Amino acid sequence: MSDPFQSFTDSPVGPARTASAVVPSDSTALPRLPKALYIGGGGDVTLRCVDSAADVVLSAVPAGSVLPVRAQFVRATGTTATAIVALG
């Protein structure tokens, strides 16, 4: 398949080039820092961004939302949203 954009440098604001399911965990970091998180099933998301020292709770995130956050952790405790996908 040809890629007309292959000569362009990837950037944090460019479209995602990878997607992987997120399994929330209180102790395990995401295997790769994403550009954003897609929330398939609405609810709360407890996460820690790459340059943050503490977790935050994003409350009542609607289904179908894309959160432009570089999260290193998505915590199981406090996360009620489902079908979370890391976009990288």
Summarize the confidence of residues 11-18 as an average pLDDT. Answer: 88
Statement: residue 5 has pLDDT above 80: no
> What per-residue string of b and e applies to 52-73 under the rule 16 or more CB within 10 Å gives b?
eeebeebeebeeeeebebbbbb
**pLDDT per residue as tens digits for the range 32-85:** 999 999 999 999 999 999 999 999 999 999 999 999 999 999 999 999 999 999
The 3-state secondary structure of the chain, one letter per residue: CCCCCCCCCCCCCCCCCCEEECCCCCCCCCCCCCCEEEEEECEEEEEEECCCCCCEEEEEECCCEEECCCEEEECCCCCCCEEEEEEC
pTM: 0.92
